[in-house]
Amino acid sequence: AEAAATDSLTDGFHLLIDALKLNGVETIYNVPGIPITDLGRYAQAQGLRVLSFRHEQHAGYAAAAAGFLTKKPGICMTVSAPGFLNGLTALAHATTNCWPMILISGSSEREIVDLQRGDYEEMDQLAIARPHAKAAYRILHAEDIGLGVARAIRASLSGRPGGVYLDVPGALLGQTMDALEGQKSLIKVVEPNPDSVPGAEAISRAVEVLKSAKKPLIILGKGAAYAQCDDKIKELVETLGFPYLPMSMAKGLLPDNHPQCASAARSLALKESDCVFLIGARLNWLLSHGQGKAWGEKGAKKFVQIDIEPIEMDSNQPIAAPLIGDIGSTATALLEAVGSDWKKPSEDWTGAVRSKVKANIEKMAPRLKNNNSPMDYQGSLGVLKELIAENPDVVLVNEGANALDQARSIIDIFKPRKRLDVGTWGIMGIGMGSAIAAAVETGNQVLAIEGDSAFGFCGMEIETVCRYNLPVCIVIMNNNGIYRGDGTNWSGGEDPSTTVFVKGARYDKMMEAFGGVGVNVDNPDALRRAVKDAFASRKPTLINAVIAEDAGKESGNIGNLNPSSVVAQK
């Protein structure tokens, strides 16, 4: 096939690629098939990196993670109907997490779809995508490709970022037009994520509220990590002198061993604080909506919140001082308003938080040193904690139930955007897509800590890891099941319990099937050696870490979200 447009003529394929390139797109996370197979090939020929996955959901999760890591829309490309639907889960995930992503799906002919005549993979994709995306567009004419791509890029990035769907009917790709006219039709988006600065009144109102607090607390969310103004955030947190709690993906914005970090005293900090300053974090379920026992006395707290999205304010609790703007600009304005004579909160408060942190860390330390075999979560994650501390540039990917909750609290992160996890939805299956994106976008070593159940949702992508020879080390916390591996079938029937898997499964052998390194370990020392080898060699590695099957608890830390039956009994 002819890779470049001829001098006089261009077509939909090339215009789409040119439009993406003009706007700085470098990588496409892809699953080939009709009608986009050649689009991927041409994109590769035009210098884009095109990574093909085994299933669209994971290509999509990779694009979503890339959006979070780079502050540019991650691009996922899929075939029509089923491929599109598979990718749509990831697009909805990106939108829910406020990450920029563009899902480009091929679609079948409008004339046939709209009259429901039954086409190959017929589906009205645009209509289906719209409620799950921040915006959804369809391009029907080659001369509109520049416009469509520009709108998709601006919609994904500006304001609160999110997922955008771009519908590309197969016939569009083959449409031709004059090459020069085509080039002229492309749009390079100017300032797709413009600064947004709160007004002076909003700033001074916020400073007053923060000043009047006796027991203030900062909560940093993944919006703060996404914003890429790490130095400003650090300066703001240190100038104010408040204890802070990082949400899971904000860990490392300031190192987790920072003297103001209150993670190990989370309960005390949430309960006792009288003022909470949210920076790129939402008061959603992950913060129990800012209410309930964990939050102390009802109505006793004042909230200050920085968010780029105006309607986030008052979505759960009244916000006394809303700061609607981007975090970098807002932090800059706040620092100016605060000036050099800022009075930090009293030692009564900060000292109380610090000593609770110290006591809790000391209490935990010996448990992390156990050398039990089979392992428990503490012994195995204690080793991984050491290795991350020694290798702070490693990007940690983490999913599972207990594997997630335990790793989040045990493993310190030291640098911004070095932790990718299940995000706002708490979904399982993001592991391999996130790991691949992290390796591709950062070039750094990746460590994916996966529950055996979570891994099952994305395991086939280890072939992708091996094919692209990515520096990804996967540790499967294998306790033989979902939550735990020791469940029984209460009914007494022959089928195994609904939450147990094949006992003693050897996930490491899957890795060997694709030429990667597979290691089976059942004690912390062996785990340490295997991960060290993986980091040293940067070879695709999967470590099957044998965890006691009675380790962990149902639904990890969120068992309370399970409805319980009154009539049935366990």
Among residues 452, 463, 508, 549, the one that binds Mg ion under rule CB under 5 A: 452
Tell me which of 80, 95, 248, 479 binds Mg ion, using CB under 5 A.
Answer: 479
Tell me if 424 contacts ligand ADP by CB under 6 A.
yes
When CB distances are held under 5 to 8 angstroms depending on the partner's kind, the choice from Mg ion, ligand ADP, none that residue 418 binds is none
308 binds, among ligand ADP, Mg ion, none (CB under 5 to 8 A by kind): ligand ADP
Complex with ligand ADP: residue 322 or 481, whichever CB lies closer: 322
Phi, psi of 216 (to 5 degrees): -80, 155
Beta bridge partners of 74: 101
- Contact status, residue 29 vs residue 53, Cβ threshold 8 Å: yes
> Tokens 């391999």 appear where?
432
Say if CB 142 and CB 181 are below 8 A apart.
no
Among 35, 40, 73, 451, binds Mg ion (CB under 5 A): 451
Long-range contacts, stretch 228-235, CB < 8 angstroms, 24+ apart = 228/71, 228/328, 228/416, 229/327, 229/328, 229/331, 230/416, 232/327, 232/328, 232/331, 232/332, 232/335, 233/279, 233/327, 233/331, 235/331, 235/335
Q: Check residue 543 for interaction with ligand ADP (CB under 6 A).
A: no
Does 327 contact ligand ADP by CB under 6 A? yes
Q: Which stretch binds ligand ADP (CB under 6 A): 104-112, 179-187, 260-268, 305-313?
A: 305-313
Closer to ligand ADP by Cβ: residue 138 or 258: 258
Contacts 24+ apart (CB under 8 A), 422-427: 422/398, 423/93, 423/96, 423/97, 423/222, 423/249, 424/96, 424/97, 424/282, 424/284, 424/286, 425/93, 425/96, 425/97, 426/558, 427/93
- 138 near ligand ADP (CB under 6 A): no
Residue nearest to ligand ADP (CB): 223
Q: Which of 386, 58, 397 is nearest to 248 (CA)?
A: 397
The interface region with ligand ADP, picked from 43-51, 242-250, 364-372, 454-462 by CB under 6 A, is: 242-250
Query: Residue 479 binds which entry of Mg ion, ligand ADP, none, with Cβ cut-offs from 5 to 8 Å by kind?
Result: Mg ion
Handedness of CA 257, 261, 264, 265 (dihedral sign): positive
User: Where would I find the H helices in 189-246?
Assistant: 200-212, 222-226, 230-240
Stretch that binds ligand ADP, among 40-48, 243-251, 254-262, 444-452 (CB under 6 A): 243-251
Q: Which is nearer to ligand ADP, 415 or 539 (CB)?
A: 415
Using rule CB under 6 A, residue 379 touches ligand ADP: no
Shortest reach from residue 234's CB to Mg ion, in Å: 36
Near ligand ADP by CB under 6 A, which window of 16-24, 247-255, 439-447, 512-520? 247-255
Binding residues for ligand ADP, rule: CB under 6 A, are: 97-98, 160, 221-223, 226-227, 247, 249-250, 280-282, 284, 286, 306-309, 312, 326-327, 424
Binding residues for Mg ion, rule: CB under 5 A, are: 451-453, 479
